Amino acid sequence: MKPLFHPSIDDVSVAGILHALSDPVRVQIFAKIACAKAAPSCSSFLHSGEREIPKSTLSQHFKALREAGLIRGERSGLELKNTSRCGEIEQRFPGLIPAIINAYRIEQAAKEAPARDRRPAA
């Protein structure tokens, strides 16, 4: 099998990271990989979100994340084990990833409780 491409951490760009994480599906994937203890396979995301994601699309998303330098994919038998490169990125761009993940979390929380701050509760 053709070995997967992973950029050197020095070639990882801020623009690339932001672009990769400007897609809600990809952030969700990335966040899950970053939090997970055991490296999740690609296919574990097929039925995860609200909508079913076609596997070709999913494959592209993983490729985008890999090429942005956000995750590392390693074949292990049939599956492709994905791990985050948070550590390396944190060293190069301290605080960037946590700030983004945190912002998404805030946004999510605001979406789930849209009432409290503005209306007496819908």
Contact 9, 88 (CB under 8 A): yes
With CB under 8 A as the contact rule, the residue among 95, 115, 120, 121 that binds a second copy is: 95
Nearest of 96, 8, 23 to residue 57 by alpha carbon = 23
Q: Does 43 bind DNA (CB under 7 A)?
A: yes
Choose the one of DNA, a second copy, none that binds residue 93, judging by a C-beta under 5 to 8 angstroms depending on kind.
Answer: a second copy
**DSSP SS3 for 116:** coil
Choose the one of a second copy, DNA, none that binds residue 100, judging by a C-beta under 5 to 8 angstroms depending on kind.
Answer: a second copy
From residue 5 to residue 34, the character string flagging contacts with a second copy as x (rule: CB under 8 A) and all else as - is: -----x--xxxxxxx-xxxx--x-------
Distance CA 91, CA 62 (A): 22
Choose the one of a second copy, DNA, none that binds residue 109, judging by a C-beta under 5 to 8 angstroms depending on kind.
Answer: none
Distance CA 91, CA 81 (A): 23
Choose the one of a second copy, DNA, none that binds residue 72, judging by a C-beta under 5 to 8 angstroms depending on kind.
Answer: none
Q: For the beta carbon of residue 20, count every other beta carbon within 10 angstroms.
A: 21
Distance CA 39, CA 81 (A): 5
Q: Does 57 bind a second copy (CB under 8 A)?
A: no
Q: Does 83 bind a second copy (CB under 8 A)?
A: no
